[in-house]
Amino acid sequence: MAGAAKLERGPLGVAGAELPSSNLRRAKKRPWPPWRLIATLAKLEFGPTDCSYKSLANSNRNKKGNSGNGRFARASAFDLGLPRPLASSRHPISTMESTRHVIVGTAGHIDHGKSTLVEALTGTNPDRLEEEKRRGITIDLGFAFLDLDGLRLGFVDVPGHERFVRNMLAGVGGIDLVLLVIAVDECIKPQTREHFDICRLLGIPRGIVVLTKSDLVDPDLLGLAKLEIEEFVRGTFMESSPIIPVSAKTGAGLDVLKQALARAALDVPARDATRHFRLPIDRSFAMKGFGTVVTGTLVSGAVKVEDEVELYPPRVRARVRGLHSGGKSVAHAVAGQRTAVNLAGIEREEIERGMVLAPPGIFEPSRRLDARVTLLGSARPLRNHARVHFHQGTAEAIAEIILLDGKELAPGASAFAQLRLQNPVLLLPADRFILRQFSPVETIGGGVVLDARAARHRRNDPGIVQFLKTLERGNHEEILTALVTGSSHVLSLAQIVARTGWTESEVRQAAAKPMDAKRLRVVCAQPWTIASAQSVADCAALLRKIIEDFHRANPLLPGIPKQELRGRAGKISAEIILTALGDLAKANVVAVTGDLVQRAGREIALSDEEARAKELIEKEFERSGLTVPSFVAVLEKLPVEPRRAQKILQILLREKVLIKVAEDLVFHRAAVARLRETLARYRKERGERLPIPAFKELTGITRKYAIPLLEYLDREHVTRRVGDERVIL
Ligand SMILES: Nc1nc2c(ncn2[C@@H]2O[C@H](COP(=O)(O)OP(=O)(O)OP(=O)(O)O)[C@@H](O)[C@H]2O)c(=O)[nH]1
Ligand SMILES: [Mg+2]
């Protein structure tokens, strides 16, 4: 058991290296069938089927003198399970653009002939590990290709052994079509059921049942097996799938199967290459002369040579040095293709199966997701807080399940749940996943991600269920509105993309109608940020109240400083506050002057005493000209207390009746105006140079006041300092 556990954690691509010989399975003591030997011999011209990347790369260089991506292309073709002739002139392949790419996965119980079938169809033995060949068992994923009239079928061959279901899960993620392989002599066995359950839970849309080893039974038994299978798939996505008997040994049925594959492939919708690029990594290796290479099924979007990409979750960036797909070096690869990517700027050691290549900087790996979880009818009830194995794409993690509406999930039922993952995984809404029981490990259910960046929820929060229902319905406008009205209040374009996985144009499109209907608003143009119109309106009402309160508490102050207004508004985002303030100003409800906000049209109402004090202050300053009075002396004469006098001073400054030249130096505007005239006259009569003593003489003020006053004049561009003197401008 310990050996098996170790094996499951084995390094990528060589999981079988530590395969325990005992207890694993009955040794496949079967004779090496002669027809298989012939196939292998026939392939010898193509070189070894287990990849010795180093020697392969070298031999290519020696023979062809190719360099860079070209050599990588040939070498990685092997890694992808491509027989070499595919790229040769003997088997010309159509151009990438006109070729339809469809990924076909095998599924089925151990020994039912999956790998043999793939080899019979493609000429490539998908079992590439030495260990696999020795034991006649598939351990890890294998790959092969078949060209059929403008159609390229990429095969992902999976292991049937129950201990390698986790490897199977890493392969089945991106497939368009499943070949459910059932050996006619054994018919439906445990992993037939488990693999089929997985296909159903992952929402694989179509498939073909292949009844292998038809040479072993007579037609009656074949008929019986068909009946049993029809019963088995009834009510599922494979209800009307063809059931095709084949024998890899005699070749019987293979042509019919190829025709069925071609027909089924026609139903596979072309994938949308404009979506965000995602390549869940199933293998990685280092190739001498090239560096790091990763392979996977490109599940979404497109990637091209020289693109910058990011490895999630570690968030390491790299450059695409070369790409390989469909048997040759390509400039770009699109969703639906098996793809090998040669990466510059990243070490092989940094990469593991389960990581994802995606565009740089736009996503965020998740540890907490909300999902619709479905339990298989055969599973035991799922308790709240149960621990499970979570599998998505090629990734896996241990997860805790928090049921959001109920304490227990019954077999065959489905419910909303939050999954807390032990390690982060890159996930997006609509990603399907599989859940396996913690121990003993077996498939118990699966689900679909609704929110990959979920918040922690309070138990029995009815709002959450409503929110998840909206996400589940999948209407972009509704989702966007729900997200924005949720806890965060404002969302930037980048945040929406990270949360939804939509493209930028999808986001804008989703926003258009709710914006027309005045439910959503753009609250910042750069970066484009939206909020619900309601939150802006609520904020405007709050700001109005704060401004009114402020005026009431500070009748002598002209308005509230913006900073203070923002502080009093609490946690509302700055974008909403600014938009709400803009609305209020536009509606002429408030006036914003510089840093101050006040009720529009507000006059400061002074009491008689205050008005008299204001007059007195003004007069006092006017009378004293440039020999300004001490402010304390002025205050003493006033009929109001000092605090109010200060405010009156502020009003006079704001009205620009008084001019503040320095912290404790205030002049009446008339005095400053007279000074300007004096200086102009001086310039005319005595030239532009003005030494400080001359200025003191001219104005009759002391040095203490002369310097700050001159500095003020410099600031006002009336004078300019040149050495110790001033020049009158
Ligand atoms: N007679 C006969 N034997 C077959 C046929 N197809 C496969 N076999 C034999 O069945 C055994 C298992 O075949 P595999 O292709 O390794 O089975 P598999 O489903 O890939 O097994 P795992 O990958 O380990 O799950 C081998 O000994 C094959 O030679 C067939 O059509 N007729
Ligand atoms: Mg196999």
Between 394-398, 481-485, 630-634, the lowest mean confidence (pLDDT) is in 630-634
Q: Is the pLDDT of residue 87 over 80?
A: no
**Residue 533: pLDDT over 80:** yes
CA-closest candidate to residue 281, choices 160, 177, 426:
426
User: How far, in Å, is the centroid of ligand 1 from the Cα of 444?
Assistant: 27
Cα(563)–Cα(567) distance, rounded to whole angstroms?
6
Q: What is the pLDDT of residue 542?
A: 95
pLDDT band at 487 (very low <50, low <70, confident <90, very high): low
Q: What is the pLDDT of residue 488?
A: 58
Predicted confidence band at 76 (pLDDT cuts at 50, 70, 90)?
very low
Is residue 229's pLDDT more than 70? Answer: yes
How do 328-330 and 395-403 pair as beta strands?
unpaired
SS3 state of residue 19: coil
Asked if pLDDT for residue 254 goes beyond 90, the answer is yes
Residue 116 Cβ contacting ligand 1 at under 6 Å: yes
* 111 pLDDT above the threshold of 50: yes
Judge whether residue 35 has pLDDT over 90: no
Which of 63-77, 181-195, 608-622, 689-703 tops mean pLDDT? 181-195
The response to whether residue 137 sits with its C-beta less than 6 Å from ligand 1 reads yes
Residue with tokens 């970066």: 527
Query: Which ligand has the nearest atom to the CA of 161?
Result: 1
335-366 pLDDT tens trace? 999 999 999 999 999 999 999 999 999 999 99
* For residue 527, cis peptide bond before it (omega within 30 degrees of 0): yes
With the most atoms of ligand 1 within 8 angstroms of its CB, the residue from 109, 111, 133 to mutate is 111
Which pair of tokens denotes residue 517? 């209907």
* pLDDT single digits (tens) 446-464: 999 999 999 998 877 888 9
Return the half-sphere exposure (C-beta side, CA atoms, 13 A cut-off) of residue 519.
Answer: 15
Q: Which residue has the higher pLDDT, 626 or 78?
A: 626
Can you give the pTM of this predicted structure? Answer: 0.74
Among 341-345, 617-621, 688-692, 710-714, name the most confident range. 341-345
Lowest mean pLDDT among 40-54, 84-98, 421-435, 525-539: 40-54
pLDDT at 58 over 50: no
Least confident range of 32-41, 219-228, 329-338, 378-387: 32-41
Residue 1, class by beta-carbon neighbours within 10 Å (0-12 exposed, 13-18 middle, 19+ buried)? exposed
Tokens of 58: 């070298």
Nearest ligand to the CA atom of 116 = 1
Ligand 1 site, residue 110, Cβ cutoff 6 A = yes
Check residue 300 and report its DSSP letter.
B
Identify the three-state secondary structure at position 481.
Answer: helix
- What percentage of the chain reaches a pLDDT higher than 70? 85
Residue bearing tokens 């070498």: 75
- Summarize the confidence of residues 567-592 as an average pLDDT: 93
Report the alpha-carbon distance of residue 118 to residue 210 in Å, rounded: 11
**Is the pLDDT confidence value at 194 over 70?**
yes
pLDDT digits (tens, 9 = 90+) for 382-397: 999 999 999 999 999 9
Q: Mean per-residue pLDDT for 264-293?
A: 90
Position 213 pLDDT exceeds 80? yes
Q: Which ligand is nearest to the CA of 25?
A: 1
Tokens of 210: 């292949």
On whether the CB atoms of residues 172 and 197 are closer than 8 A, the answer is no
Over range 550-562, report the average pLDDT: 86
* Percentage of the chain lying above the pLDDT 90 cut: 60
User: Is the CB of 159 inside a 6 Å radius of any atom of ligand 1?
Assistant: yes
Which three-class secondary structure string do you get for 501-543?
CCCHHHHHHHHHHHHHCCCEEEEECCCCEEEEHHHHHHHHHHH
Q: Is 544 in contact with 590 (CB distance < 8 Å)?
A: yes
Query: Does the pLDDT value for residue 228 go beyond 50?
Result: yes
pLDDT band at 620 (very low <50, low <70, confident <90, very high): confident
pLDDT digits (tens, 9 = 90+) for 298-341: 999 999 999 999 999 999 999 999 999 877 899 999 999 999 99
d(CA 365, CA 320): 21
257 Cα: distance to centroid of ligand 1 (angstroms) = 17
Query: Ligand 1 center to residue 264 CA distance, Å?
Result: 24
> Is the model's pLDDT at 644 over the cut of 90?
no
Higher pLDDT pick, 65 / 503: 503
Residue identifier of the C-alpha nearest atom 32 of ligand 1:
213
User: Which residue has its alpha carbon closest to ligand 1 atom 14?
Assistant: 113
Instruction: Please check the confidence at residue 23 and state whether its pLDDT lies above 50.
Output: no
Other Cβ atoms less than 10 A from the Cβ of 548: the count is 12
Is 70's pLDDT higher than 70? no
E strand segments, 555-617 = 560-561, 590-593, 596-599
Q: Report, as an integer, the average pLDDT of 613-620.
A: 83
Q: Quick check: 93 pLDDT over 80?
A: no
Question: If you average pLDDT over every residue of the chain, what do you get?
Answer: 84
The secondary structure element, H or E, covering residue 461 is none
Q: What is the pLDDT of residues 655-669, one digit of tens each?
A: 788 888 887 788 888
